[in-house]
C-alpha cells in the first residue's frame, strides 16, 4: 500500500530545516522552501526554481502541496467577485472579494458548511463537513489579493472571517491562518485589518481575550431580546445574552478593542421600537458599534427585509444615545455572494 504523502504546509520552518538536514542537505534549504510556500504561494514543487531539479524531485517524493483551486468565479455588476473554491478532497467552499471606492475586502470561509443552524442563513442548510486547514484559509486570501490587483488595480486591504462556517469552532486553525497572514514571512498584513465574526460563543470569546489576539471581533447579534434571538439563532438557547455580554465585557477589558455588532432588521421579527431600545441598552453595557446589514433573501420567504422606515428608526434611536451605527448595503446580491447567501449555489 502506497504511503500517503504529507502536506508540506503542515510543517513549521524548523521542521523543514530538520527534514533537509536528515536528508543530507543544508538547513537553509528549508528556509527557501518555506518562503516558496508562504510568501510566494507556490502551487507545486516545480515552481520552486531556486532549488535544483534533484531537490524538487526529493520533495515530490515525500510531500504534496494541497493547494486550493478557484473552480468557478462569478463577477457581480457592482464589482464583487464570488469564488467557488475546490479543496484537495473535492469539497467546495466559497469566498468573496468585496470592493468599495477606497478598499477591497476578502470574505473567507473557515469551515465546509456550518453546524449552528441560524434560521436566516443559507450556509446553515449545509451540514458541516469539516474544518478548513490554515493553508486553505490562507490560500483564499492569496487568491482574492490576486483578483484585487487584477480587477481593481490595488492590493487587498482587509479580511473578514464572515464566509461559510463559525470561525470560533475552528479556533486553532483560524488563529494559525491569521498568524501566517500577518507574519512577515507570510503576507505581512496588519491584524488591525482583520475581523473575525462569530455568532457569539462566550467561552471561546474569553479564550480569544486570554490569548491576546490583535484582530477585531464582530458578533452576529440580530436581537438583544433573548426570546427573539433564540428563535433566530439556536446558539442563544445554550448561551444567552447575559453570558454573551459577560464574555464581551471580558474581551474589552483584556484587549481594549470595541466590538462590532452585526444586526439585520427583519419585518415582523425585530423591527419595533422595543427591539431598538433593547439594542441600545445592550450596547451601553460594553463599548461597541453597530452595523445594520441589509438582508438577502434565501428563497423561502420566511424572512423579509424590514422597510426603510424601520431601519431609519434604528439609526435614529442608536444615534440619539451616541452609539455609532453604519447601514451596510449588501454587495454581490445578483450572484448570491451577499451576507447569508453563501451555499455553494452556482449560476
Report the catalytic residues.
Answer: 94, 339
Q: Say how far apart CA 234 and CA 232 lie, in whole Å.
A: 7
Q: Say how far apart CA 203 and CA 208 lie, in whole Å.
A: 9
Burial of 252 (0-12, 13-18, 19+ CB in 10 A): middle
Q: Say how far apart CA 342 and CA 74 lie, in whole Å.
A: 13
Q: How far is residue 339 CA from its own chain's centroid?
A: 12
- Reading the block at residue 286, the C-alpha cell is 460594553
Main-chain dihedrals φ then ψ at residue 287, nearest 5 degrees: -55, 120
What single-letter DSSP state applies at residue 77?
A: T
- Reading the block at residue 318, the C-alpha cell is 442608536
- Reading the block at residue 76, the C-alpha cell is 457581480
Amino acid at each position: 500500500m502506497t504511503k500517503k504523502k504529507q502536506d508540506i504546509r503542515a510543517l513549521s520552518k524548523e521542521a523543514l530545516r530538520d527534514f533537509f538536514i536528515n536528508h543530507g542537505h543544508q538547513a537553509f534549504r528549508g528556509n527557501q522552501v518555506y518562503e516558496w510556500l508562504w510568501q510566494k504561494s507556490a502551487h507545486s514543487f516545480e515552481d520552486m526554481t531556486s532549488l535544483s531539479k534533484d531537490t524538487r524531485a526529493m520533495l515530490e517524493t515525500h510531500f504534496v502541496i494541497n493547494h486550493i483551486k478557484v473552480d468557478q468565479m462569478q463577477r457581480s455588476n457592482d464589482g464583487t467577485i464570488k469564488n467557488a473554491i475546490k479543496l484537495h478532497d473535492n469539497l467546495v467552499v466559497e469566498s468573496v472579494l468585496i470592493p468599495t471606492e477606497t478598499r477591497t475586502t476578502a470574505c473567507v470561509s473557515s469551515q465546509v458548511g456550518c453546524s449552528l443552524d441560524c434560521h436566516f442563513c443559507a450556509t446553515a442548510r449545509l451540514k458541516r463537513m469539516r474544518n478548513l486547514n490554515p493553508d486553505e484559509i490562507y490560500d483564499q486570501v492569496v487568491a482574492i489579493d490576486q483578483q484585487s490587483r487584477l480587477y481593481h488595480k490595488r492590493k487587498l486591504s482587509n479580511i473578514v472571517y464572515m464566509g461559510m462556517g463559525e470561525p470560533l469552532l475552528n479556533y486553532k486553525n483560524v488563529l494559525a491562518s491569521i498568524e501566517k497572514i500577518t507574519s512577515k514571512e507570510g503576507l505581512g498584513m496588519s491584524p488591525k485589518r482583520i475581523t473575525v465574526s462569530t455568532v457569539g460563543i462566550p467561552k471561546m470569546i474569553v479564550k480569544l481575550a486570554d490569548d491576546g489576539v490583535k484582530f477585531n471581533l464582530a458578533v452576529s447579534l440580530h436581537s438583544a431580546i433573548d426570546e427573539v434571538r433564540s428563535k433566530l439563532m439556536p446558539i442563544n438557547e445554550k448561551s444567552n445574552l447575559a453570558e454573551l455580554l459577560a464574555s464581551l465585557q471580558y474581551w474589552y477589558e483584556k484587549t481594549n478593542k470595541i466590538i462590532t455588532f452585526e444586526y439585520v432588521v427583519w419585518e415582523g421579527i425585530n423591527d419595533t421600537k422595543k427591539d431598538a431600545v433593547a439594542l441600545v441598552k445592550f450596547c451601553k453595557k460594553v463599548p461597541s458599534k453597530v452595523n445594520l446589514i441589509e438582508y438577502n433573501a434565501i428563497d423561502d420567504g420566511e424572512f423579509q427585509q424590514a422597510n426603510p422606515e424601520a431601519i431609519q428608526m434604528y439609526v435614529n434611536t442608536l444615534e440619539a444615545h451616541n452609539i455609532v451605527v453604519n447601514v451596510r448595503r449588501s454587495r454581490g446580491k445578483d450572484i448570491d455572494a451577499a451576507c447569508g447567501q453563501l451555499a455553494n449555489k452556482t449560476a
